[in-house]
Chain A
């Protein structure tokens, strides 16, 4: 009886936890299907049933009630996955301490940002909504599916996606904590120490709990558990292999440093982000099995990226590193297909290699490659349809589908895609961004210089 009761409780709590996710039925007819993993199929249909790709082939008949999309002359590819984004969340940097592993961006999901629709309009179907790079060890991140239109923030989360956490090396954490507040780390030496220290403390915490758990089942045990500490709990989970580290990094030596630290603590699940100088340690990255998620060609905005090259992605790929291209920027996110195309200029990657950088590879880095990232039967139907080949500059994303539901349709969608309208807004004053985007969105919320004037808390939107 007790078992049934427990099962029932679990079931109800699970269904309460599970947010409503719409899944669609579509038939995409006659397009050139770029599967990414299994070659290119001309004039082929893709059948989506209940949000999953159920059939790929020629001459598939449309079941009744299915929406039919005529993709003749168009290109059908897996939805783009942006492995580094700060969209869709209301808080980016808990920049008050160098280690904040306990916070979680998934606590502050905001599905109403128009930027999410604009990403869909650029063919993006999933994003890795990350903590910022102000801290050596930042918070856990959330993988979101761009189900734009939902009102429930929980419905944006990619249910069951592996846990990930943000680390950051180099100028950002040393500037915020060392230069900004006079606490360790102020140098790259300090960054290494802070990470080692956090892992060591996590290890001690894990061992204390393991000891307690073993002891408490002994007869006559009277004692108290170690004090609950979410930060150390999370560090322990990384050590247990339950969380993938995504580390913001630029310089070759600091990338190498983290490989060594992770090796010492037995951590295998590791992906570097930005990693502008990754090409200088490509053999080491490949040998370790660490992934790299890079910009196509950004450089020169800080000293640690001064010695970058746009050939980075190509060099990493040729050396056997699982590489993806990300945006870390609301504007860049809208044309990741174009950014991937740049690897054909800088390094002459093939079509499939270039497309992998924005589909199956970021999926691998986020641990979701079993579910998305290519067009294969059984995978979730996250699909984008392009007019012209996605790697051509003349391409135009026409339709973006998430879980089989059309979330972006260039020809049908209204101009104004806001879900909620500010009732106090004056109609006429423009929000106008000056030319050139702020490429350091990773630092949002951590810049305090003028904020100190009146103790402002910049950021929190």
Chain B
């Protein structure tokens, strides 16, 4: 249902207009998606819906510098054919699709949008899925009725990753780096030829149009920066190597291990979006007085290792303040953070040395400036887009909860819920029925694998088969055990003459299940599926 009015007045609220700019107990009036007025003792328009935000805090909506919120994840079509000529693949297979545009894959109804918005994020720069050159990024609002509504600014960055292709060239990071340089240089050649042809084409062969190379032109012109995924310190080094060779403007996204690379980052004049993901904190162990005395060398070693681990974790938490101190401008990225951990991670960074104002700047004014939209978002000021987040206490307070979020002046309200502890494993004690035909998807690091599981219950004894899209085999299941709503089974897979055992463990919830598939020594992978209603 459409809202009744597009005018709101938020009263008696602590307004954090920007880092270091606070108005106590003021009013914010928004109309038609724009912040109309901010201040104390304002006249409240008659047609405004009043939100009594007594002693709450309002901030500018947070800006996520790099993630895939709202981007539809493509269905992986498992290519079961062995590539005939892995050295000369189709560009799409090699991950070379810089001509793609993320704007064609947006969906405001994606759960990720809802989840991130619930934390107070209203704007994000999002990138397409893909390999080394997935395409161009766009800046979107985390709301809207259609994908078009979401777009604030298209072609904001040329997105790149040091991600190799599967089974085809380039299959290693050195292949990726070599291919990157080659494409860039070929694009520069093509561009300069096109210019020459355009100015005077007498006697020249006409230039060939290549969508892939053309996608590089704005980067070569320095109109668009390259947004490069740079999680690890070695990634940062390799990206700066490319930057030095090719000269593009670079933005590093989702940086997790940057504190030793600050000199290189400065030398490359790179902009940074630090990751909001942090390694899990070590649980404080109660010191056992008795244990201290009888310390075996084994314990001493373990203690030393734990100490090093804790020191390492501390380095991750202190990263933001290190960047702050070395004067590198940074925003934040939610790309690999678990949404529920973000507020806690921010608090950990603040505990490690970042001030609240610095954190706020990295969430609002800095990313706005880095993304070139500072004139429209990032602070609570007249004339800016009505992107706001309202919390019942200061955002960085441990007990703080988000109560309202405004995106383009559209209000989202959040009830404060009691967290029920549902034990997913027991699934409310309902006994699940595994009988029937289930389609499943397994997520592996290199793509999704799908198939069908058929289970038959013959008076208490279970039998079944499983098919796999990649192999085309239908295999018998063995050791099927059903307990409550959990089911486990094993099957053998024939790989090049030797048989590998694959163990599956599932939790069934009605007509859906979730679980894991364990493949010999290669690890386990999340699996989910649903029952075919026709069976």
Contacts and interface: CB of A to CB of B under 8 A. Distances in A.
A and B touch in the complex (CB under 8 A): yes
Interface of A: 16-17, 90-100, 102-105, 107-110, 112, 131, 139, 151-154, 181-183, 222-225, 227-230, 416, 418, 420-425, 427-428, 445, 448-450, 452-457, 459-460
Given A96-B171, A183-B85, A449-B495, A457 B164 contact: yes
A112 B445 CA distance: 24
Contacts of A230: 178, 181-182
Contacts of A97: 86-88, 169
A222 B196 contact: yes
Given A94-B172, A229-B182, A424 B280 contact: yes
B155 interface: no
B87 A453 contact: no
B444 A455 contact: yes
Contact of A110 (B234, B264, B305, B316): B234
B312 A222 contact: no
- The SS class assigned to the B binding surface is mixed
A104 B175 CA distance: 8
B238 interface: yes
Contacts of B88: 97
The 7 closest A-B pairs by CB, nearest first: A97-B87, A423-B279, A91-B172, A96-B169, A96-B86, A421-B312, A449-B496
Contacts of A427: 302, 305-306, 309
A311 B360 CA distance: 70
A91 B234 CA distance: 12
- The SS class assigned to the A binding surface is loop
Given A96-B167, A230-B182, A91 B174 contact: yes
Interface string B223-238: 0000000000110011
Given A16-B244, A108-B174, A98 B87 contact: yes
Given A225-B189, A230-B182, A420-B233, 19 more contacts: A17-B244, A91-B175, A96-B87, A98-B87, A103-B174, A181-B82, A181-B84, A224-B196, A416-B305, A423-B309, A423-B312, A423-B316, A425-B309, A427-B309, A445-B172, A449-B496, A455-B444, A455-B447, A457-B164
Most buried by A among B171, B202, B306, B471: B171
A100 B82 CA distance: 20
B260 interface: yes
A421 B279 CA distance: 12
A95 B470 CA distance: 22
A104 B444 contact: no
Interface in B3-20: none
Nearest to B304: A416
A445 B174 CA distance: 13
Nearest to A17: B244
Nearest to A16: B267
Interface in B302-335: 302, 304-306, 308-309, 311-313, 316
A103 B164 CA distance: 13
Contacts of B264: 152
Nearest to B170: A94
Contacts of A105: 174
Contacts of B189: 224-225, 227-228
Interface in B463-507: 470-471, 493, 495-496, 500
A183 B202 CA distance: 43
Contacts of B279: 423-424
A222 B172 CA distance: 39
A456 B302 contact: no
Contacts of B316: 423
A105 B312 CA distance: 28
A17 B446 CA distance: 35
B204 interface: yes
Most buried by A among B170, B200, B202, B306: B170
A454 B171 contact: no
A453 B470 contact: yes
Contacts of B203: 222
B175 to A, nearest CB: 4
Interface string B19-57: 000000000000000000000000000000000000000
Contacts of B193: 224
A422 B313 CA distance: 9
B113 interface: no
A421 B308 contact: yes
A107 B242 CA distance: 9
Interface in B391-420: none
B234 A153 contact: yes
A459 B173 CA distance: 11
B304 to A, nearest CB: 7
Most buried by A among B174, B204, B470, B519: B174
